[in-house]
């Protein structure tokens, strides 16, 4: 049994309507292998799957995961220029009504809504080019790569922006983003501030770091050297489960997982009680710095 979750690829060979005559399977063993696979198939988010012909899956235009088209109106100015992730997230409350009240559920709801709007904007910018066809294979590949890269870039950055917005709404404003630390590293969030981190008189035990990664995979190892003064690091992720072995590796390295409450059941029962919900992380951090509502 593998010690960590990874992307798995199953290939079936069928003739006509008969059952598959051949089935072959591969499991990506390294980050490089997963990156190579996603460079062809598009981003695969935690718990996501793709099923279809190889021609469709490796077209370069896959969404990465299922999504709902809420048909949000798109500002006229965005028809000419693709907006930034921050602009999209700021615009969302004017066209979307969110039912969730707690940060854990609200984050998931907002992220889904934001992706729906993103795909609507993307369609405006890309669909006509696709319908018009291509003069060469290279021109098709260029467009496919552009779409794939924009989706990947949006995915991780939008998660940081949603968290930043939620922190502020929940009166947790004592943080810095992209603070430069040792070796020119840039953690996603430093609490209570970058100034405090670089103040030698500020107690190290009153510093917090939150790294943000859509998926952990082996990339969690990258965060353990991003802030030398902080020995216990918090990592927020949407990954739907890790193995007990990988979790113990994380804990041994001083990493604590922050996971939306609805995803806790995706983790092995033995470690669920050690996971931190987003709501609890916010309340604990506010209490650490005596933040008032």
197 as an active site residue: the answer is: yes
Q: Are 240 and 263 in contact (CB under 8 A)?
A: yes
Name which of 204, 210, 199, 203 is nearest 175 in CA terms.
210
For the four alpha carbons of 221, 230, 209 and 187, in that order, the dihedral sign comes to negative
**In which residue are the tokens 């000419």 written?**
80
Those residues with Cβ within 8 angstroms of residue 292's Cβ, 6 or more apart along the chain or in another chain: 171
Q: Which long-range contacts (CB under 8 A, 24 or more apart) does 38-42 make?
A: 38/7, 38/152, 39/148, 42/148, 42/151
Per annotation, catalytic residue among 72, 197, 247, 267 = 197
Alpha-carbon dihedral 220, 225, 230, 234, rounded to 10 degrees: -10
- CA atoms in the 13 A half-sphere facing the CB of 194: 13
Alpha-carbon dihedral 133, 131, 61, 126, rounded to 10 degrees: 110
**In which residue are the tokens 């552009």 written?**
146
Q: Which residues are catalytic?
A: 197
């Amino acid at each position: 049994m593998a010690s960590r979750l990874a992307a798995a690829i199953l290939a079936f060979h069928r003739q006509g309507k008969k059952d598959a005559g051949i089935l072959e399977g591969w499991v990506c063993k390294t980050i490089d292998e997963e990156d190579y696979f996603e460079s062809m198939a598009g981003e695969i988010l935690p718990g996501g799957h793709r099923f279809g012909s190889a021609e469709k899956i490796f077209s370069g235009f896959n969404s990465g995961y299922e999504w709902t088209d809420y048909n949000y109106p798109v500002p006229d100015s965005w028809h000419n220029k693709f907006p930034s992730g921050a602009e999209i997230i700021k615009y969302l409350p004017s066209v979307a009504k969110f039912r969730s009240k707690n940060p854990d559920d609200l984050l998931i709801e907002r992220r889904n809504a934001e992706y729906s709007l993103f795909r609507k904007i993307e369609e405006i910018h890309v669909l006509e080019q696709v319908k018009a066809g291509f003069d060469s294979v290279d021109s098709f590949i260029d467009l496919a790569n552009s779409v794939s890269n924009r989706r990947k870039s949006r995915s991780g950055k939008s998660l940081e922006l949603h968290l930043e917005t939620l922190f502020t709404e929940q009166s947790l404003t004592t943080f810095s983003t992209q603070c430069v630390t040792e070796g020119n590293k840039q953690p996603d969030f430093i609490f209570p501030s970058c100034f405090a981190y670089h103040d030698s008189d500020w107690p190290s035990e009153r510093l917090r770091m939150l790294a943000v990664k859509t998926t952990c995979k082996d990339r969690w190892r990258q965060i353990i050297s991003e802030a030398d003064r902080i020995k216990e690091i918090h990592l927020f992720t949407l990954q739907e489960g890790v193995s007990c072995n990988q979790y113990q590796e994380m804990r041994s390295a001083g990493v604590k997982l922050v996971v939306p409450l609805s995803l806790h059941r995706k983790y092995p029962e033995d470690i669920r009680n050690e996971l931190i919900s987003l709501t609890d992380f916010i309340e604990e951090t506010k209490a650490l710095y005596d933040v008032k509502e």
